[in-house]
Amino acid sequence: MNSLHILKERTSSQKDDGNVGERFCYCRGLEEPPMVGCDGENCKIVWFHFSCVNITKSPEEIETVKWYCPDCAM
């Protein structure tokens, strides 16, 4: 059984000024937790900021085993 992919703290060494780093989410923003990972096999984005996909619960409150972004859920 897969578990929900949640990013609770930064894992990269990106600078806080936001000038470098990999881009994520629909907003094309930098890694800024909390983030959730899409379980869609062909997801083009993979990591999403909670606020950009309307997740309002804390990571600990989410009981879903798998999560799919709006594009992959179609």
Binding site, by residue number, is 25, 27, 38, 43, 49, 52, 69, 72
**Residues of the chain by 3-state class (helix, strand, coil), percent to 5:** 15, 15, 70
Q: Rg of the chain's alpha carbons, rounded to an integer?
A: 12
Q: Which residues are annotated as a binding site for Zn(2+)?
A: 25, 27, 38, 43, 49, 52, 69, 72
- Pair 6, 27: CB distance under 8 Å: no
